[in-house]
Amino acid sequence: MVGIVLVSHSLELARGLADLTSQVAGTEVRVEPAGGGPGGTLGTNSDSVREAIARADDGQGVVVLADLGSSILTVRHLLEGRPNGHVRLVDAPFVEGAVAAAVMCAAGQGLEDVARAAESARGASKF
């Protein structure tokens, strides 16, 4: 099953979103939160992202969503060394993209379709 990594400046935010996606999509999906700085401060670091990717990856690929600014840069920098597309940073709204991706993962869809669902979340109306 494709896995998901959620990268936020706030580990609490990433964890909360992981909980939400699990509630909607089911607990069988690997949704791994990453982020936060030392001692509970806000920030991102590539070590926590690298570890989360390793936890999320069962061989079917990983979709990474990040919140804003430097968390995006952290992920992009990390993935420069992995050009094969097995781990994919998607340009998607954090909450909606994560929920859309998680349901696709749970339904056994492939990396390409999961990434597309996350990115198309940008155009979705809420009501």
Partner 1 sequence: MVPASSEATVNLPEGVALHARPAGAFVKTALGFGAKVLVASNGKQADAKSILAVLALGALGGSELRLVADGDDAAAAVDALARCVRNLSE
Cβ 125 to partner 1 shortest distance, Å: 6
Evaluate the CA torsion angle 87, 56, 100, 74 in order and state its sign. Answer: negative
H helices within the chain, ranges in order? 11-25, 46-56, 69-79, 94-106, 111-120
Cβ 108 to partner 1 shortest distance, Å: 8
Cα–Cα distance between 43 and 97 in angstroms, integer? 21
Q: Is 90 in the site for partner 1 (CB under 8 A)?
A: no
Q: Which is nearer to partner 1, 36 or 97 (CB)?
A: 97
Q: Which is nearer to partner 1, 14 or 92 (CB)?
A: 92
Q: Is 26 in the site for partner 1 (CB under 8 A)?
A: yes
* Residue 68 · residue 43 · CB < 8 Å: no
What residues line the site for partner 1 (CB under 8 A)?
23-26, 96, 99-100, 103-104, 106-109, 117, 121, 124-127
